[in-house]
Amino acid sequence: MWSMKLKRAHGGCKLEQAKPSASSDSYVSNENHSNSTISLKYCNRSSRAGTRGRTMKAGAGLFSALALFLLMGAVLTQLVRPKKPTRRPATNRRPSVAKPAVPAQPEPQEPTDFPPPILGPPSMFPDCPRECLCSPNYPNSLNCENRNIRAIPVIPSRTHYLYLQNNYISEVTAEPFVNASEIRWINLANNRILRIHKQVFEKIPSLLYLYVHRNQLKEVPQGLPASLEQLRLSRNHITKIPSGAFGKMENLTLLDLYHNQLSDSDLGRNTFKDLKGLMQLNLAHNVLKKMPDGVPSGLIQLYLDRNRIDDIPKNYFRDLTHLAFVRLNYNQLSDKGVPKGVFNISSLLDLQLAHNQLTSVPLFNGHLEQLHLNHNSIENINGTLICPYSLQADLSDHSLAPKLRYLRLDGNHLSPPIPLDVIMCFRHLHSIVI
């Protein structure tokens, strides 16, 4: 009989056959068969139990890995996350369009900032500069105006009249005038002159007229020749008059400093003392607050319009016995700043006080011919008070009547008709504006 043996190996069952024994009988055989059956069943159960054990172990490992993964995920979720940028609420405003950047313009540089010089026509004079015109009809004149020149050319020795206006000259040096000692007249108006070397005038001692208006000078040129008769420096940027700038200039009759930046401190008491022949002084459109001191006694015309003058000294005009024209328009004069009788000057012919703060008509001399009082604060006019002569006097001789011919009163607080006493006093009055 064959016998069966079961062995467990590696968690399973193994079935072996045994050779039959000779002494075994059928009972034994049956018993063995029964035992083998039981053993086989047990093996099968054991095998299934082992499989379940291994499955449970594998499941426990998988569960542990899953738990570890979830734990790591929970830890990672606790880390600080960067905030997402919040979107602004929608608006109706249109998105701005970036404008293209405009490149900065470079500063103009020579010679591209000026037009090229204009050459003159061919000349019969070999010494005539190419930028100028030398007319055979006027051999002593050198015409270089409106030629876009930036530097003064060499001036021929025969020149008496030099015209250089309306160019781009920025500096006046002595070199061009080395041989031009006979010049009488120089016109440098409307250039860009910043400086005039004082050595220039050493070369031209006979100069009579110097016109340098509409330039960029910051001070009065020094070394001016004593022969000079007219000096025009209007519309510059002058803030300084050097000491002695007008020294020994006794022949100067006209000094024009209109439209500069002169203040009271720039005009000393001795600024004009050497100008004994001065007849016309123009200081209009500056920043003066008081009347200039030390003006020459021979002065005929004094122009002080568009300053900030609010007071006239009582005896200011006493020594100006030749003064005929006084202009003080556009200042800050009031009745308080105009002393009684300050304009009682026998030589005065034209008095202009428009655009001030006067409330009454100032007294004036009977020789006055024109009086401008427009745009003040005058409310009434009394002919009896302002008449230079008594209305009761015998004025049948018109030669004795006041010489006033033109009276302007518009822009005040007056209305027609003209008072009768005004007509009775000023019998030579041809025009009155109210």
Residue 35 has pLDDT above 50, yes or no: no
Hunting for tokens 């050198």 — which residue is that? 142
User: 10-19, 161-170, 297-306, 322-331: which has the minimum mean pLDDT?
Assistant: 10-19
Average of per-residue pLDDT across 126-152: 94
How many CB atoms are located within 10 Å of the residue 372 CB? 21
Residue 329: its pLDDT value, please?
A: 99
Question: 75-88: per-residue pLDDT in tens?
Answer: 555 554 555 555 55
- Mean pLDDT of the 391-401 span: 64
Domains of the chain are 1-21+34-43 (no CATH), 127-216 (3.80.10.10)
The residue that leads in pLDDT, 89 or 175, is 175
| pLDDT confidence bin for 308, thresholds 50/70/90 | very high
**How much is the average pLDDT of 403-424?**
91
- Quote the mean pLDDT of the chain: 83
Q: Which residue has the higher pLDDT, 128 or 37?
A: 128
Q: How far apart are CA 147 and CA 120, in angstroms?
A: 8
Torsion of CA 226, 227, 229, 231, to 10 degrees: -60
Q: Which of the four pLDDT bands, split at 50, 70 and 90, describes residue 419?
A: confident
Q: Which residue has the higher pLDDT, 151 or 74?
A: 151
Higher-scoring residue by pLDDT: 200, 117: 200
Residues sharing a CB contact under 8 Å with residue 203, sequence separation 6 or more, in sequence order? 174, 177, 178, 180, 181
Q: What pLDDT sits at residue 102?
A: 61
H or E element, residue 172: strand 171-172
Cα(11)–Cα(52) distance, integer angstroms: 11
- Determine what percent of the chain is predicted with pLDDT higher than 70: 72
Closest C-alpha to 301, from 273, 272, 278, 325: 325
How confident is the model over 187-202, as pLDDT tens digits?
Answer: 999 999 999 999 999 8
pLDDT for the residue numbered 112: 54
Quickly list DSSP for 354-412: -SSB-SSPPPB-TT--EEE--SS------HHHH-SS-TTS---SGGGS----EEE-TTS
pLDDT, position 355: 98
Q: What is the mean pLDDT of residues 237-250?
A: 94
User: Phi then psi for 121, rounded to 5 degrees?
Assistant: -70, 160
Average confidence (pLDDT) over 247-268 = 96
Place 142 in a pLDDT band, splitting at 50, 70 and 90.
very high
Is 90 exceeded by the pLDDT of residue 177?
yes
Model pLDDT, residue 89: 56
Give yes or no for a contact between 219 and 195, defined as CB atoms under 8 angstroms apart.
no
44-76 per-position pLDDT tens digit: 444 454 555 555 555 556 666 666 666 666 555
pLDDT digits (tens, 9 = 90+) for 339-386: 999 999 999 999 999 999 999 999 999 999 999 999 999 999 988 888
